[in-house]
C-alpha cells in the first residue's frame, strides 16, 4: 500500500491471478467454502483463459461432467465464480509485487495495489514461440503458435494462410489441425521429433482420414524460408540427417509449453528447472508463506478440466490457511526426475494434513516414450516406493498414486524419481 495514494490500496482475503479454469474454479470453491472476499485478476478483456478461443468439444469432462466447447466452458466457469460472489476484474494485469507484498496492478481504472492474505498464482502457460526453439532462417509473417492461430481464426475471424506445417504432435497439435481447417487452411504436414505422436490414437486416425495430413515422426524443422511471408520450411530427418524442403505459407508451433512464471520469479520463488514453474507441495503451496500456485503454471500443460480440479484442490488449502488450521510447511523435500523422466508435478513433499496432491496423484512426464516402466522414488539412499506404469511419455501425463511418497521424510534430502526398468519404443 502506498501512503501517498491510500485511496488506491485495496485489500482482499484472497487474490487469484488468472481467470482461467484453475483460477475461476478456485474462486468459486473458496466462496462456497468460506465467506472470504475473493478477487480474481485477469489481463484479458474477458475471463475464461485459453478455452475462450479453443472451439472444439470436450471441455469440462472431469470437473463439470459435461462436454462443452471451450467458449461454453469458459463462460460456465466465469458465471459460477461470479454467482458464488467472487469479484472478477478483467483488463487488469498484475505487473509485480510492492515491497509489502501487495500485487501491483495496471488497469484502465488506474495503477493500484491489491493486498491479500493469500495469493494464488493461476497464470497458466503458453507455447514456446519459434525464437525460443532457435529455429534458424528468416523472420517472415505466417509463423505462429496455436494460441495465436486460435485467436486469429476464432476471435479475429481472419484467415491464417493456405498451406500450413504443424510442428508438434500432442493434443493441442491436433486441435491446431481443426482450427486450420476452420480457417480455410490445409495442413500439409505434422512434424514431431519423437518417434510417434503423443495424443489419442483416435485423434491421429481422425487427422489422417479427415485432413489427410501426413505425420512425419523423427523429424525436426531446421529452417524457415521466405520474406515477407513464409515460402517453405526445411525438414531434417533426425536418424539420417537427410533434409528436404516443403512449401508452405504458414508454420504453427504447437505445445512446447512453458509456464507463465514471471510473477512467481518476481515474487522471489525459485523455479522447478524441469517444469519451469514454481515448485509447490501437494497442497499447491510455494516456498513463500501465503503464496499458492495452481493449474498449468505448475504442470505445463494439462487439459483444462485437470487445471480446474487443481483450482478446487487449492481452495481447500487456502481455506485452511485463512482459518489458521494448517501451519505453512517449514520444510518440503523436492522431487527430482532423472532422465529419461522429464518432470513430476507437484514436485515437493511436505508434512501434515492437506499435503496430498490434487486428485490423489502426481503427474509424470518423460522425454521419450517408455513402455511398462517401473518408476521408483528414492530419498537419501532409501527406496520409498515403486509404481509400474503402462506408459510414460512426453506431452501427456502418467499418474503416480500419492502413496508413492507416503514414506518420504519432508525434512530429508531430495527425492529422486527414476525409471528402474522399461521397454523403449523406437
Partner 1 sequence: MAGRERAMPARETDYDVAVIGAGDVGAAVARELARFELRIALIDRGDVGAGTSKANTALLHTGFDSKPGTHEARLVARGHALLQAYAAEVGIPIERTGALLVAWDETQLARFDAIEDNARACGHHGLRRVDAEELHRREPRLGPGARGALEVADEYIICPFTPPLAYATQAVLAGAHLRRGEAVTGLQPLPGGGWRVSTARANAARANAARANAGAGAAPDAGELTATWVINAAGLRSDEVHRMAGRDGFTVTPRRGELIVFDKLSRPLVNHIILPVPTAKTKGVLIAPTVFGNVMLGPTADDIDDKTSTSSTADGLARLRAAGRRLMPALLEHDVTAVYAGLRAATEHADYSLEVDGDARYACAGGVRSTGLTASMAIAEWMRDQLGDAGLELTERPVGLPAITMPNLGEAFPRPYGDAERIAADPAYGEIVCFCERVTRGEIRDAARSPIAPSDLDGLRRRTRALMGRCQGFFCGAHVAELMAAPERTP
Among 118, 152, 263, 337, binds partner 1 (CB under 8 A): 152
Cell 519432508 locates to: 410
Distance CA 226, CA 223 (A): 10
Among 31, 37, 76, 130, binds partner 1 (CB under 8 A): 130
Closest distance of CB 205 from partner 1, Å: 29
Distance CA 269, CA 173 (A): 31
134 interacts with partner 1 by CB under 8 A? yes
Closest distance of CB 144 from partner 1, Å: 7
Closest distance of CB 79 from partner 1, Å: 23
288 interacts with partner 1 by CB under 8 A? no
As a whole number of Å, the end-to-end CA separation of the chain is: 58
110 interacts with partner 1 by CB under 8 A? yes
Interface with partner 1 in residues 228-257 (CB under 8 A): 228
Contact 151, 340 (CB under 8 A): no
Instruction: Using the minimum distance from each CB to partner 1, give the nearer residue, 182 or 359.
Output: 182
Distance CA 231, CA 223 (A): 11
Closest distance of CB 141 from partner 1, Å: 8
Closest distance of CB 423 from partner 1, Å: 33
CA 61 from centre of chain: 18
Q: Which three cell numbers stand for residue 73?
A: 466452458
Distance CA 3, CA 9 (A): 9
5 interacts with partner 1 by CB under 8 A? yes
Q: Which three cell numbers stand for residue 384?
A: 520409498
Distance CA 355, CA 313 (A): 11
Instruction: Using the minimum distance from each CB to partner 1, give the nearer residue, 63 or 127.
Output: 127
Distance CA 31, CA 24 (A): 11
Judged by CB under 8 A, the stretch of 144-152, 211-219, 286-294, 371-379 that binds partner 1 is 144-152
Distance CA 377, CA 386 (A): 6
Among 9, 33, 115, 223, binds partner 1 (CB under 8 A): 223
Q: Is the four-CA dihedral 296, 302, 304, 307 of positive or negative sign?
A: negative
Among 11, 93, 98, 231, binds partner 1 (CB under 8 A): 93
Cα 368-389-195 angle, rounded to 5 deg: 20
Judged by CB under 8 A, the stretch of 10-18, 107-115, 307-315, 353-361 that binds partner 1 is 107-115
423 interacts with partner 1 by CB under 8 A? no
Q: Which residues bind partner 1 (CB under 8 A)?
A: 5, 8, 43-44, 91, 93, 95, 104, 106-111, 126-132, 134, 136-139, 141, 144-145, 147-148, 151-152, 155-156, 158, 222-223, 225, 227-228, 258, 262, 265, 273, 276
Amino acid at each position: 500500500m502506498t501512503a501517498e495514494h491510500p485511496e488506491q490500496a485495496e485489500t482482499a482475503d484472497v487474490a487469484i491471478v488468472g481467470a482461467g479454469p484453475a483460477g475461476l474454479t478456485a474462486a468459486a470453491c473458496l466462496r462456497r467454502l468460506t465467506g472470504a472476499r475473493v478477487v480474481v485478476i485477469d489481463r484479458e478483456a474477458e475471463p475464461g483463459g485459453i478455452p475462450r478461443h479453443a472451439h472444439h468439444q470436450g471441455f469440462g469432462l472431469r470437473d463439470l461432467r459435461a462436454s462443452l466447447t471451450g467458449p461454453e466452458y469458459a463462460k460456465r466457469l466465469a458465471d459460477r465464480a461470479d454467482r458464488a460472489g467472487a469479484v472478477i476484474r478483467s483488463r487488469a494485469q498484475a505487473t509485480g509485487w510492492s515491497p509489502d507484498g501487495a500485487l501491483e496492478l495496471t488497469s484502465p481504472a488506474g495503477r493500484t495495489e491489491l493486498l491479500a492474505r493469500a495469493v494464488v498464482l493461476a497464470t497458466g502457460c503458453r507455447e514456446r514461440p519459434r525464437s525460443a526453439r532457435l529455429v534458424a532462417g528468416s523472420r517472415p509473417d505466417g509463423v505462429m503458435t496455436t494460441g495465436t492461430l486460435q485467436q486469429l481464426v476464432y476471435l479475429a475471424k481472419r484467415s491464417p494462410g493456405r498451406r500450413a506445417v504443424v510442428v508438434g504432435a500432442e493434443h493441442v497439435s491436433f486441435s491446431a489441425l481443426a482450427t486450420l481447417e476452420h480457417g480455410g487452411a490445409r495442413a500439409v504436414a505434422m512434424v514431431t521429433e519423437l518417434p510417434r505422436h503423443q495424443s489419442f490414437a483416435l485423434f491421429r486416425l481422425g487427422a489422417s482420414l479427415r485432413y489427410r495430413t501426413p505425420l512425419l515422426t523423427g523429424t525436426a524443422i531446421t529452417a524457415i524460408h521466405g520474406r515477407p511471408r513464409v515460402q517453405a520450411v526445411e525438414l531434417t530427418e533426425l536418424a539420417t540427417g537427410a533434409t528436404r524442403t516443403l512449401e508452405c505459407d504458414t508454420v504453427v508451433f504447437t505445445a512446447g509449453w512453458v509456464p507463465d512464471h514471471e510473477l512467481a520469479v518476481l515474487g522471489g520463488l525459485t523455479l522447478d528447472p524441469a517444469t519451469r514453474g514454481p515448485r509447490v507441495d501437494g497442497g499447491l503451496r510455494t516456498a513463500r508463506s501465503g503464496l499458492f500456485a495452481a493449474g498449468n503454471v505448475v504442470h505445463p500443460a494439462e487439459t483444462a478440466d485437470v487445471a480446474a480440479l487443481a483450482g478446487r484442490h487449492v481452495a481447500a488449502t487456502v481455506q485452511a490457511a485463512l482459518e489458521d488450521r494448517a501451519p505453512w510447511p517449514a520444510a518440503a523435500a523436492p522431487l527430482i526426475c532423472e532422465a529419461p523422466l522429464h518432470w513430476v508435478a507437484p514436485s515437493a513433499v511436505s508434512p501434515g494434513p492437506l499435503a496430498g496432491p490434487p486428485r490423489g496423484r502426481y503427474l509424470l512426464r518423460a522425454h521419450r516414450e517408455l513402455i511398462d516402466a517401473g518408476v521408483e522414488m528414492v530419498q537419501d539412499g532409501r527406496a520409498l516406493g515403486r509404481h509400474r506404469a503402462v506408459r510414460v511419455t512426453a506431452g501427456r501425463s502418467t499418474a503416480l498414486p500419492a502413496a508413492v511418497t507416503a514414506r518420504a521424510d519432508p525434512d530429508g534430502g531430495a527425492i529422486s524419481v527414476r525409471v528402474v526398468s522399461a521397454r523403449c519404443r523406437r
